[in-house]
Amino acid sequence: MQKNELIHLHMLLFQVRTYFSTLQESGIHTERYDSLAISPLHLHKDRKAHAGALLILGDEIVCHILGQNVPVVQIAPDTVTLPVIAAER
């Protein structure tokens, strides 16, 4: 993955973290990510730094979501109706 793609993903996860903090007063606890002192706006940082920050931030977001005990919705295959798609030959 190229540096610009890593920075883009880093920004997207950063926005997810910001979104969660608007939903909840406490937000997501990202102590490990914050200790890195890197943000998606630090374009001068190398690719490896952004990749590490991306992985740590992603891990902290996933751990937060798993800790929320959100029920997983199971959809039975027989209840799903797929749309009919027309194709030309």
pLDDT along the chain (89 residues), means of 10: 89 91 80 92 91 92 80 63 63
**What span, in angstroms and rounded, lies between the C-alpha atoms of 48 and 50?**
5
The answer for residues whose C-beta is within 8 angstroms of residue 20's C-beta and 6 or more apart is: 27, 28, 61, 64
Counting Cα atoms < 13 Å in the Cβ hemisphere of 63 gives: 11
Q: Which CATH number is 3-67's, of 1.20.1270.110, 1.10.3210.10, 1.20.120.450, 2.30.30.110?
A: 1.20.1270.110
pLDDT at 20: 83
Quick one: pLDDT at residue 19? 87
Of 31, 25, 27, which is closest to residue 67 (Cα–Cα)? 27
Do 28 and 20 touch, CB atoms closer than 8 A? yes
